[in-house]
Amino acid sequence: MRFTDGYWQLRPGVEMLRPRDIDSVEAGDDTLTVYAPTAPITRRGDTLNRPVVTVTFDAPADGVIGVRIEHHQGRRDPGPHFAVNRDPGTVKVVAPDSPVVGPAELTSGALTARIATDGEWQVDFLADGEVLTSSSGRSIGIATTPEGDFVHEQLALGVGEHVYGLGERFGAFVKNGQSIDVWNEDGGTASEQAYKNVPFYVTDRGYGVFVAHPERVSFEVGSEVVSRTQFSVPGQSLQYYVIHGPTPAEILRRYTALTGRPAVVPAWSYGLWLSTSFTTNYDEETVNGFIDGMAARDIPLSVFHFDCFWMRQFHWCDFVWDPATFPDPEGMLARLHDRGLKVCVWINPYIAQRSHLFREGQKKGYLVTTPDGDVWQWDKWQAGMGLVDFTNPDAAAWYKDKLRVLLRQGVDCFKTDFGERIPTDVVWHDGSDPQRMHNYYASLYNKLVFELLEEERGRGDAVVFARSATAGTQAYPVHWGGDCESTFVSMAESLRGGLSLSLSGFGYWSHDIGGFEGTPDPAVFKRWAAFGLLSSHSRLHGSSSYRVPWAFDDEAVDVTRKFTKLKLRLMPYLGRLGHVAAEEGMPVMRPMVLQFPDDRTAAGVDTQYMLGPSLLVAPVFHESRVEYYVPEGEWTRLPDVGAGQTPTVTGPRWIAEEHGFDSLPLLVRPGTVLPVGARDDRPDYAWAEGVTLRCTRLPEGFDEEVLVPGGTGSPATFRVRCESGVVHVTSDDAPGEWGVENEGRTVRATGPGEVAL
């Protein structure tokens, strides 16, 4: 939201209070509270009719400083609030004596907030003596506007500083110059709206900022004031956290420690998912035809997904299989399991008026109501639709039990669609502020379903396919990009959304291979298939047309088979990345700036990504041509793709190439040990058994441990060293046969031991 008319003037109807003086500073054991009048106090009479801005600093975690700006403190606060995990460590507080002379400081780890106590309002956030960002004389504002009361803060942007994140946003990857409202909407991927809004941004100057408000947060990123990032919220208080890096990776680690890290997802979820698509006609015979077709074409399939019309039309969501289409759901699910498949079904948190659950929920008081006590309803999406009130524990348990029936029938996971169309003219059971619940509902919804899956399937075997999210929802993976068009342009905008989401704390991300709206031409489908199967999760899904590859051409079948099998061979590597996401908050798919923060060219690259720390993936957004950036070093093409191209590529430089549909730039970073699995028929196998460690240009003195998770077997640890040009690999716990590949030569061993080549 903008409050000014240019730099000097306020918009008509806007009044603004700003801190102009420091009356006093109070120090607690780990807090500093600053009382700042809105005009200089030179005599006692100046305190009359004079507002005071109260600013409190604390440190919830090492390297993190919280700032709370308040005007009137007597306002009721019904919540909800984002959970913040507090582990403050050592906090150092320095406060000047009265009368106030000299700066006040609060230090957490290497990060210090230094508050000037004379002259204009000035707070500098420093790390190792260098100012990262600042709040200065015009930064804090307590605004009265025709739209209501607001509090804003502005933090300085340095020369060449870039801002990233703020959720899954499909516009420009670098957010400088953008006005962004954090407000979940069902707006597709081609507008400024987003399904997953996160009030957290990362900079390449060594810090990030989390605005801890689930309601609408308005960001002006170098827009209203080009030298500052402004964020504002309605009301009388604003809470934010400055998070030190210095690298973007360390910022993400600290942010996800505060708000939650992704769970480890089951191995089978990394395989290929096939959907019935949205409005297509299907029954068990159709489903079996798809599955038989994939098997006949040797395309490994891991999950079959039933979209909306597994239920009766106008009954969504009553969780009852349409008896005309699926007369024997338990038998059908058992037959799918016998074929080695997992099953996902579509759900959402809305209940149509025609459903028997609507009447049941209405009678029990489980649906959100209007202020006059009626059930809130509208006809968008479903006729007479109501909304389950997850703030009511009984309603949450009721909804869980309806889903539990499906799990016990044989369903393995849920696509938790929607959750963005949350009204604000309603009353919640627990008294929550409707404005705050609009975004926060996504976390309640996905948490409930994810925790049910953990209860029924066990920790580590739970996964959802979710569309809506906000801060903290990353704990309940996986999330996908929503409704995109079937074009190269939309393929690129989808990638930008995923890159932004990964810099917002989300470890996993997927998208609809081929696009959702419309039917892609064969070229788009084939290029999207390669991209999708080199993403953390991979799903074939569309709107009004099927996405089986033979619907396009024979080459689409070959491309889908090739990249599916490649992904399954990469499971020892991808599985480890999932554990890293859970342990450290690092995403599986990483923007170039995250992996190469000191490379100025990488700062703006948004048409490629790193799959983990070692694989560079450059999707091809054209029938044949691709241009991509290679950071410093001599990179090696993964032998499985890139036929006809030079085997190595040296950077830093941009490269233009021509690629067939069965190829794309897929490069291995120098100094990499890439574990490659022995199977390409399924993702859930014993990853360490038969694994091959591909060593790529290891430097002299290289000495690292390579951890291969177990998958369905036992894990293994390998120590890899390079001495005098010879690679030595030892393992004390290798569970079976394993191999080492270096410079085109391969040596195999069995069980614990050492090899050298």
Q: Is the CB of residue 58 less than 8 Å from the CB of residue 65?
A: yes
Residues 613 and 661 in one domain: yes
Residues 236 and 286 in one domain: no
Q: Which two tokens stand for residue 354?
A: 């025609």
Residues 402 and 511 in one domain: yes
Q: Answer yes or no: is 368 within a domain.
A: no
**Sorting pLDDT into bands at 50, 70 and 90, what band is 435?**
very high
Distance between CA atoms of 702 and 725, rounded to whole angstroms?
Answer: 10
**Which pLDDT belongs to residue 744?**
85
Q: Answer yes or no: is 729 within a domain.
A: yes
Instruction: Determine the structural domain holding residue 742 and report its residue range.
Output: 686-756
- Sequence-ordered list of residues with C-beta below 8 angstroms from that of 505, at least 6 positions apart, any chain: 198, 200, 252, 255, 256, 259, 471, 474, 585
- The candidate with the shortest Cα–Cα distance to 669, out of 699, 642, 691, 701, is 699
Instruction: Tell me which H or E stretch contains 257.
Output: helix 248-259
User: Is 420 an active-site residue?
Assistant: yes
**Sorting pLDDT into bands at 50, 70 and 90, what band is 643?**
confident
Q: Answer yes or no: is 169 within a domain.
A: no
Residues 310 and 246 in one domain: no
Mean pLDDT of the chain: 96
Which strands, in side-by-side order, build the sheet including 745-750? 672-676, 692-696, 737-742, 745-750
Percent over 90 (pLDDT), the chain: 96
Residue 533 has pLDDT above 80, yes or no: yes
Residue 449 has pLDDT above 80, yes or no: yes
CA 659: distance to chain centroid? 30
**Sorting pLDDT into bands at 50, 70 and 90, what band is 574?**
very high
- The candidate with the shortest Cα–Cα distance to 301, out of 326, 268, 329, 338, is 268
Q: Which of 228, 259, 290 is the last residue of a domain?
A: 259
Q: Which whole-number Å values give the CA distances from 22 to 72, 107, 453, 612, in the listed order?
A: 18, 20, 53, 48
- The candidate with the shortest Cα–Cα distance to 19, out of 125, 162, 134, 121, is 121
Distance between CA atoms of 403 and 479, rounded to whole angstroms?
Answer: 19
User: Is 307 an active-site residue?
Assistant: no
Residues 714 and 633 in one domain: no
Is the sign of the CA dihedral 69, 75, 79, 83 positive or negative?
Answer: positive
Q: Average pLDDT, stretch 371-378?
A: 97
Q: Which two tokens stand for residue 247?
A: 């690298």
Residues 344 and 476 in one domain: yes
Residue 615 has pLDDT above 80, yes or no: yes
**Which pLDDT belongs to residue 639?**
85
Q: Which long-range contacts (CB under 8 A, 24 or more apart) does 669-672 make?
A: 669/613, 669/614, 669/615, 669/616, 669/633, 669/635, 669/696, 670/633, 670/634, 670/635, 670/636, 670/696, 670/697, 670/699, 671/633, 671/696, 671/697, 671/698, 671/699, 671/702, 672/614, 672/696, 672/697
Q: Answer yes or no: is 190 within a domain.
A: no
Q: Answer yes or no: is 183 within a domain.
A: no
Residues 607 and 578 in one domain: no
Residues 296 and 400 in one domain: yes
Q: Which of 529, 558, 584 is the last residue of a domain?
A: 584
The radius of gyration of the chain's CA atoms, rounded to the nearest angstrom, is 27
**Which pLDDT belongs to residue 110?**
97
Residues 514 and 609 in one domain: no
Q: Average pLDDT, stretch 578-592?
A: 98
Residue 295 has pLDDT above 80, yes or no: yes
- DSSP code for 376: P
The label of the residue with tokens 């606060």 reads 77
Kind of pairing between the strands at 512-513 and 538-540: parallel
**Which pLDDT belongs to residue 97?**
75
| Span 7-52, pLDDT tens digits | 999 999 999 999 999 999 999 989 999 999 999 999 999 999 999 9
CATH classification of the domain holding 440: 3.20.20.80
Task: Compute how many other C-beta atoms are within 10 angstroms of the C-beta atom of residue 115.
Answer: 23
| Span 215-261, pLDDT tens digits | 999 999 999 999 999 999 999 999 999 999 999 999 999 999 999 99
Residues 402 and 325 in one domain: yes
Q: Which of 70, 483, 485, 606 is catalytic?
A: 483
Distance between CA atoms of 108 and 741, rounded to whole angstroms?
Answer: 46
The label of the residue with tokens 């021509």 reads 658
Q: Domain count of the chain?
A: 4
Q: Which whole-number Å values give the CA distances from 437 to 373, 389, 428, 434, 565, in the listed order?
A: 18, 11, 9, 5, 43
Phi, psi for residue 407 in degrees, rounded to 5: -65, -40
Helix axes 554-569, 571-584, angle to 10 degrees: 60
**Sorting pLDDT into bands at 50, 70 and 90, what band is 100?**
low
Residues 716 and 752 in one domain: yes
Residues 145 and 275 in one domain: no
Distance between CA atoms of 574 and 244, rounded to whole angstroms?
Answer: 28
Q: Average pLDDT, stretch 504-527?
A: 97
Q: Answer yes or no: is 172 within a domain.
A: no
Phi, psi for residue 604 in degrees, rounded to 5: -110, 5
User: Is 417 an active-site residue?
Assistant: yes
